[in-house]
């Protein structure tokens, strides 16, 4: 699996939340920092539960954190 | 910018090296230190039974010691917090890697049976199975390294 067709705004959302670090976000949602890195780079699509947990941390609707772009 | 290797990637490399060293060291011990006895008993099923039964606990203990040492050295060298538990991505990677590993061992098992169909001596079957076990372990760790390096 290379780059997925799901894009994310986690990097921007972290910036707007007092420059939250990847480690801080990882601790809040219960995954490793490497998993957050992989999600931000679009290399890993998180489970629905993890996606909701990330959206919950930023108090943002899920569709503003993750966007699906169908391949043309 | 290319990132350095993560804890999981380094752990996979350590696992590959550990698997090879444990297997090579143990085989060397059995076949060289007891050379005459080992080679006279090479076709006895009890010899191979003992070889595999002793290899398993030796491998587990050696692996635990290596992982503890690796974790301590990694923490001291990087000051990085080690992952306390595996998350969903770790579990998926473990599953994908172990599937590949099982395929390799399955093929080795079939090859081991082929040696008996072809009337080869019993040791051929055990050699194929033991080597297949090592290869499947290496494939497991190499796959883990590959998936962690790629992201998933």
Q: Mean pLDDT per segment of 10 residues, for chain B of length 152 residues?
A: 78 95 92 75 84 92 94 89 86 96 97 95 92 96 94 81
Distance in Å from the first CA to the final CA of chain A = 18
Yes or no, beta carbons of B89 and A31 under 8 Å apart: yes
Separation of alpha carbons B76 and B99, rounded Å: 34
- Closest CA–CA distance from residue A17 to any residue of chain B (Å): 23
* pLDDT value for B23: 93
- Closest CA–CA distance from residue B8 to any residue of chain A (Å): 9
CA angle at residue B17 from B63 to B147, to 5 degrees? 95
User: For A19-58, what is each residue's pLDDT tens digit?
Assistant: 999 999 999 999 999 899 999 999 999 999 999 999 999 9
pLDDT at A2 over 80: no
Reported ipTM: the value is 0.85
* pLDDT value for B135: 97
* pLDDT value for B138: 97
Yes or no, beta carbons of B87 and A32 under 8 Å apart: yes
Yes or no, beta carbons of A44 and B148 under 8 Å apart: no
Q: What distances in angstroms separate CA B86 from CA A31, B5, B77, B81, one per listed residue? A: 8, 18, 22, 14
pLDDT at A59 over 70: yes
Among A22, A33, A34, A49, pick the best mutation site for testing chain B contact (most B Cβ within 10 A).
Answer: A34
Q: Which long-range contacts (CB under 8 A, 24 or more apart) does B48-53 make?
A: B48/B122, B48/B123, B48/B126, B51/B126, B51/B130, B52/B126, B52/B130
* pLDDT value for B61: 95
Separation of alpha carbons B32 and B39, rounded Å: 9
Query: Which of A30, A38, A47 minimises the CB distance to B151?
Result: A38
């Amino acid at each position: 699996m290379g780059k997925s067709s799901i894009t994310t705004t986690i990097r921007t959302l972290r910036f707007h939340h007092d420059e939250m670090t990847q480690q801080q976000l990882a601790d809040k949602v219960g995954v490793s920092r490497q998993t957050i890195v992989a999600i931000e780079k679009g290399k890993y699509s998180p489970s629905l539960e993890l996606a909701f947990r990330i959206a919950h941390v930023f108090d943002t609707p899920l569709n503003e954190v993750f966007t699906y772009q169908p391949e043309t | 910018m290319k990132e350095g290797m993560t804890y999981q990637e380094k752990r996979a490399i350590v696992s590959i090296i550990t698997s090879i060293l444990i297997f090579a060291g143990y085989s060397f011990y059995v076949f060289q230190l007891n050379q005459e006895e080992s080679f006279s008993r090479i076709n006895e099923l009890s010899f191979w039974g003992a070889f595999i039964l002793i290899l398993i606990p030796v491998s587990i203990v050696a692996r635990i010691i290596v992982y503890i040492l690796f974790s301590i050295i990694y923490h001291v060298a990087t000051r990085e917090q080690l992952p306390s538990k595996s998350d969903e991505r770790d579990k998926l990677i473990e599953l994908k890697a172990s599937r590949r590993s099982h395929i390799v061992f399955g093929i080795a098992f079939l090859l081991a049976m082929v040696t008996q169909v072809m009337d080869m001596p019993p040791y051929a079957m055990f050699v194929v199975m033991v080597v297949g076990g090592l290869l499947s372990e290496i494939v497991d760790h190499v796959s883990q390294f590959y998936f962690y390096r790629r992201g998933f």
